[in-house]
């Protein structure tokens, strides 16, 4: 539940330039009364200035000055709207050819991907990439919004052709657990966005908004094993809490309860959960996603970067790992390169042992590579200064992903998904 008791759904969008992504988001905002009068006025003013005879909703989301000048979206923008039942966060990720990194970034925090297709153009190379990325990130729920239906006479044949082309793409992918939903829309005219279209009686499914609203966060959350990476050790050293030593962090994957037998990594020490605390509240059983503080029965060694897991559910501990990597910085990744590897809240040093291949994002296989450039995706082998305690990304998103930090600039240069 979210703050107002509404559920929270996080959505990443993907589309090529001019497919109408900004218009679609603007339309969702407008139709859910999420645009304020001053924003609507600004849109009306800007639309008039540009000589349009319609409201250009894309202006609702266009942000930075540089971007306005170039007329393209250049980064990930976060947009918020809500209905009575649901709070939505949209990570608007631009669809320009070079911007794989932005979609990876936006998708990393999202539960749902909305992939836009221009009905006139159908499935194009970039659609492949968008679907490839939502697969790479294992987004379990994909909506394919086929837009600009008004420009193809709201034709069912066009819709079905695109759907079957997309299905062919799905065949090629290796992630088969996702649910894919196709919706024909016109963002500009508002057809099937929040209002059921009269022009497409052949479409019997939900509008885009209705579809997003019936999703349940629990179904979108991955369930796996409990992972509790320790962020911060709380030692009040006050009279009232003289011996208090609490391990605070965010719980992922599965619930934990008082009395659970646990292992602390890397030491491997065993103990039992003595208490779980959220602010001044004592908890018996805590759901994943909670930021809590845990106390243990025994005086075990445990500090930031360590991990508390249920005994018998220990993750792998290795000094050599293989991962699929996406390069998110203009400085290329090369064999022999050294980085700071941040896995959750833990940091170790990492050296690139081997770049096995670059992976084509159009599902046509791999090629040899000696480096990964910005927006490249590849298979890479690393050696680490110390073992990390990980799961495969497939089994645990939180414990199977990492970032690489450049030792010189400290920029975040890559994101990795452990195999």
> Which residues form the interface with ligand GDP (CB under 6 A)?
15, 17-23, 58, 147-148, 150-151, 186-188
DSSP, residue by residue, 86-123:
EEEEEEE----TT-HHHHHHHHHT-SEEEEEEETTT-S
Nearer to ligand GDP by Cβ, of 119 and 352: the residue is 119
Q: Is 332 in the site for other proteins (CB under 8 A)?
A: no
Taking the CA atoms of residue 9, residue 13, residue 18 and residue 23 in that order, the dihedral angle to the nearest 10 degrees is: 10
Q: Is 214 in the site for other proteins (CB under 8 A)?
A: no
Nearer to other proteins by Cβ, of 84 and 301: the residue is 84
Nearer to other proteins by Cβ, of 109 and 223: the residue is 109
Q: Is 223 in the site for other proteins (CB under 8 A)?
A: no
Q: Which does 184 bind (CB under 5 to 8 A by kind): other proteins, ligand GDP, none?
A: none
Q: How far apart are CA 248 and CA 131, in angstroms?
A: 37
Q: Is 93 in the site for other proteins (CB under 8 A)?
A: no
Q: How many Cβ atoms are within 10 Å of 383's Cβ, its own excluded?
A: 15
| Token pair recorded at residue 251 | 């719980």
Q: How many residues bind other proteins (CB under 8 A)?
A: 81
Nearer to ligand GDP by Cβ, of 16 and 329: the residue is 16
Q: How far is the CB of 366 from other proteins (least distance, A)?
A: 23
Residues 56-75 that bind other proteins (CB under 8 A): 61-66, 74-75
Among all chains, which residue has been given the structure tokens 């709070």?
87
Beta strands at 316-327 and 307-310: parallel, antiparallel or unpaired: unpaired
Nearer to ligand GDP by Cβ, of 20 and 344: the residue is 20
Say which DSSP state 398 is in.
Answer: H
Residues 16-35 that bind other proteins (CB under 8 A): none
Nearer to other proteins by Cβ, of 123 and 230: the residue is 230
Q: Is 384 in a helix, a strand, or coil?
A: strand
For the chain, the first-to-last Cα distance in angstroms comes to 32
Site stretch for other proteins (CB under 8 A), options 147-155, 207-215, 359-367, 401-409: 401-409
Q: Bridge partners of 318?
A: 388
* Nearest Cα residue to 364 out of 130, 118, 103, 129: 129
Q: Is 3 in the site for other proteins (CB under 8 A)?
A: yes
Residues 150-209 that bind other proteins (CB under 8 A): none
| Token pair recorded at residue 283 | 């908890």
Q: Is 287 in the site for other proteins (CB under 8 A)?
A: yes
Site stretch for other proteins (CB under 8 A), options 13-21, 208-216, 244-252, 331-339: 244-252
Are the beta carbons of 207 and 195 closer than 8 angstroms?
yes
Q: How far is the CB of 161 from other proteins (least distance, A)?
A: 36
Taking the CA atoms of residue 212, residue 217, residue 219 and residue 222 in that order, the dihedral angle to the nearest 10 degrees is: 120
Q: How far is the CB of 390 from other proteins (least distance, A)?
A: 13
């Amino acid at each position: 539940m979210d703050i107002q008791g509404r559920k929270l759904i996080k959505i990443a969008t993907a589309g090529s330039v001019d497919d109408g992504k900004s218009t679609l988001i603007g339309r969702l905002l407008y139709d859910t009364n999420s645009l304020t009068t001053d924003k609507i006025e600004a849109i009306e003013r800007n639309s008039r200035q540009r000589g349009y005879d319609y409201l250009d909703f894309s202006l609702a989301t266009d942000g930075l000055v540089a971007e306005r000048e170039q007329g393209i979206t250049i980064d990930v923008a976060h947009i918020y709207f809500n209905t009575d039942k649901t709070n939505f966060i949209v990570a608007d990720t631009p669809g320009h050819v070079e911007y794989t990194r932005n979609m990876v970034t936006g998708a990393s925090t999202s539960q749902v991907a909305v992939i836009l297709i221009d009905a006139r153009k159908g499935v194009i190379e970039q659609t492949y990439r968008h679907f490839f990325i939502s697969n790479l990130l294992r987004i379990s729920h994909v909506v394919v919004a086929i837009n600009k239906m008004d420009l193809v006479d709201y034709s069912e044949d066009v819709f079905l052709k695109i759907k079957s082309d997309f299905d062919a793409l799905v065949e090629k992918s290796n992630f088969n657990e996702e649910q894919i939903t196709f919706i024909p829309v016109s963002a500009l005219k508002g057809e099937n966005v929040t209002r059921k279209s009269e022009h497409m009686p052949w479409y019997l499914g939900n509008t885009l908004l209705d579809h997003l609203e019936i999703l349940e966060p629990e179904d979108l959350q991955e369930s796996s094993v409990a992972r509790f990476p320790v962020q911060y050790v709380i030692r009040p050293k006050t009279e009232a809490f003289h011996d208090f030593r609490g391990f605070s962090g965010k719980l992922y994957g599965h619930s934990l309860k008082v009395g659970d037998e646990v292992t602390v990594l890397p030491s491997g020490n065993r103990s039992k959960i003595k208490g779980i605390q959220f602010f001044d509240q004592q908890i018996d059983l805590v759901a994943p996603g909670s930021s809590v503080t845990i106390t243990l029965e025994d005086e075990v060694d445990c500090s930031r970067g360590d991990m508390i897991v249920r005994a018998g559910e220990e993750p792998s501990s290795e000094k050599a790992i293989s991962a699929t990597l996406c390069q998110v910085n203009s400085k290329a990744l090369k064999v022999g390169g050294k980085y700071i590897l941040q896995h959750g809240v833990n940091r170790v040093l990492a050296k690139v042992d081997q770049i096995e291949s670059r992976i084509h994002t159009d599902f046509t296989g791999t090629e040899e590579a000696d480096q990964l450039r910005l927006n490249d995706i590849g298979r890479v082998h690393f050696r680490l200064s110390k073992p990390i305690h990980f799961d495969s990304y497939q089994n645990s998103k939180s414990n199977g992903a990492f970032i690489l930090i450049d030792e010189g600039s400290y920029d975040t240069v890559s994101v990795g998904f452990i195999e």
